[in-house]
Structure 1
Amino acid sequence: MLLRLCSLFLQYPDSEITAARPVLGSHVEGLPPSPAAEQLAAFTAWFTAEETQALERHYVEMFDLRRKSSLHLTYYLHGDTRRRGMALLTLNQRYRAAGWDADSGELPDHLPVVLEFAALTGPGGGEAPLRQHRRGLELIQHALTDADSPYRHVLAALLTLLPPPTEADRAAVSRLAAEGPPNEEVGLDPYGTYEDGEFAPPGTFVPPMAAPPTRVPPADPTLTRVEGNR
């Protein structure tokens, strides 16, 4: 439920999403007490009070115009390099191996898509992409906090569901904030190798094992992902 709510809140706030605010708010109110529920309650208080146009402007400013709070997770690992294309392909393979077709019109690393996959597939494999991109999620949350954006509460709620960051994670996030994602280099091996100081852990691009196609229906029709049309 928490993952599905985070997925919906991080989508573009079009008319369909904003019309569903009362229903979403009631689901947040019904969550068991937890740090994540408190964070989502803080976000919902702002989200339900703002005018639709103000929500749209704020969303575009935070997620479309600022690289440090982009919702495309592979950007933080690979920047605009050829390795990012391989990472996107691997993520798509993971979805297909689980029998899930995002069919969203978004890239497979778009955070709302990754969150919906985790919500539908469950712990373990479903949440693996979130754990893999934890450092990017930390950077997004820091950027939203620096901008005093209420969306920081959604990222804070999500991070409470993941294992605590390690010292290596904290150091990598600080370095990433200071230096930015990697840039394409002339003569870069198109298949890529891992060197000291890079953010991608070994085994990042290992394709997942295939599984029989399955589809998991959403538990509540009101929480089915709504794709924003910009």
Structure 2
Amino acid sequence: MDRSRMFQLTSLLLTYPDRELVEAGGELRAASAGVLGDFLDWLLTTPLIEVQRHYVQTFDLRRRSGLHLTYHLHGDTRKRGMALLMLKQRYRAHGLRLADGELPDLLPVVLEFAASAGPGDGEAPLRQHRQGIELLRSALHETRSPYAQVLDLICDALPPLTAADRAAIAALAVDGPPVETVGLGPDLTAPYSTCGNAEVSR
């Protein structure tokens, strides 16, 4: 499987699973070229409602395994807002338009961009957010999620981690993302997000 097809496939598999995705099982197996066999077996043989429940519990209700990559590195800080803006500008330069309300650091979006824009500029966001991707992979392995196999495939396609990468990832795993209080929300308990549409519930 070439890199572009692999990124396109993993982007699709990391979106919310619906009936249309499951009914395309034959095409998914053909596109996977023999990889992701265990994941596809789980996806296509588990009742859809259970797959959907697992997806929500894994990616929407647990911050450590959220799909928004900039959160892992920057938390809800001004730096995250800048990182989101830079991603939007990169996508716009290549003609990629986001759906309404969709954040540019959502891993399926980053993978779609890598598939469409090619190995140079297209894969740059994956390399830049490698630490977040590795933290996500680790969290999925900790919970024994079938989605860990999808993250393994993505990480295997990226450059090897350096010693500095591993040290930074270990520190983030212990300390969590940075916190920056820039003002209280209407209930005077929760800080406003500094990047607009960020999903702070993750």
- Alignment TM-score > 0.5, same fold: yes
Q: Please point out which of 129, 148, 151 is paired with 1:133.
A: 129
Partner of 2:193: none
Partner of 1:166: 162
| SS of aligned partner of 2:121 | coil
Q: Distance in 1 between matches of 2:97 and 2:160?
A: 30
| SS of aligned partner of 2:52 | helix
Q: Structure 1 residue 23: deviation in Å?
A: 1.6
Determine if the alignment matches structure 1 residue 18 to structure 2 residue 22. Answer: yes
Q: Distance in 1 between matches of 2:100 and 2:127?
A: 22
Q: Structure 1 residue 104: deviation in Å?
A: 6.1
Partner of 1:180: 176
Letter in 1 for 2:8: R
Q: Structure 1 residue 103: deviation in Å?
A: 2.9
Q: Distance in 2 between matches of 1:50 and 1:21?
A: 12
Letter in 1 for 2:169: V
User: Does the 8 Å CA contact 1:114/1:129 hold for their aligned counterparts?
Assistant: yes
| SS of aligned partner of 2:44 | helix
Partner of 2:70: 74
**Which has more helix, going by share of residues?**
2
| C-alpha RMSD of the superposition | 1.5
Q: Structure 1 residue 102: deviation in Å?
A: 3.0
Q: Structure 1 residue 167: deviation in Å?
A: 0.8
Stretch of structure 1 that moved more, 79-88 or 98-107: 98-107
Matches within 5 A, 1:144-159: 144-159=140-155
**Structure 2: which 5+ residue stretches go unaligned?**
184-202
Stretch of structure 1 that moved more, 100-109 or 80-89: 100-109
**Structure 1: which 5+ residue stretches go unaligned?**
32-36, 188-230
> Percent identity of the aligned residues?
56
User: Does the 8 Å CA contact 1:73/1:137 hold for their aligned counterparts?
Assistant: yes
Q: Structure 1 residue 44: deviation in Å?
A: 1.1
TM-score (norm 2): 0.84
> What do residues 69-99 of structure 1 show as CA deviations (whole Å, max 9, x unaligned)?
1000010121011221111111000001112
Q: Distance in 2 between matches of 1:43 and 1:71?
A: 18
- CA gap of 1:104–1:18, structure 2 versus 1, over 3 A, is farther
Q: Please point out which of 100, 105, 112 is paired with 1:109.
A: 105
Matches within 5 A, 1:13-52: 13-28=17-32, 31=33, 38=35, 40-52=36-48
- Highest RCO, 1 vs 2 (Cα 8 Å, sep ≥ 6): 1
User: Does the 8 Å CA contact 1:22/1:48 hold for their aligned counterparts?
Assistant: no
Stretch of structure 1 that moved more, 74-83 or 127-136: 74-83
- CA gap of 1:47–1:179, structure 2 versus 1, over 3 A, is same
Q: Distance in 2 between matches of 1:134 and 1:91?
A: 14
Q: Distance in 2 between matches of 1:56 and 1:186?
A: 35
| SS of aligned partner of 2:159 | coil
Kindly tell me the number of residue pairs found equivalent between the two proteins: 179
Q: Structure 1 residue 172: deviation in Å?
A: 0.9
Letter in 2 for 1:71: L
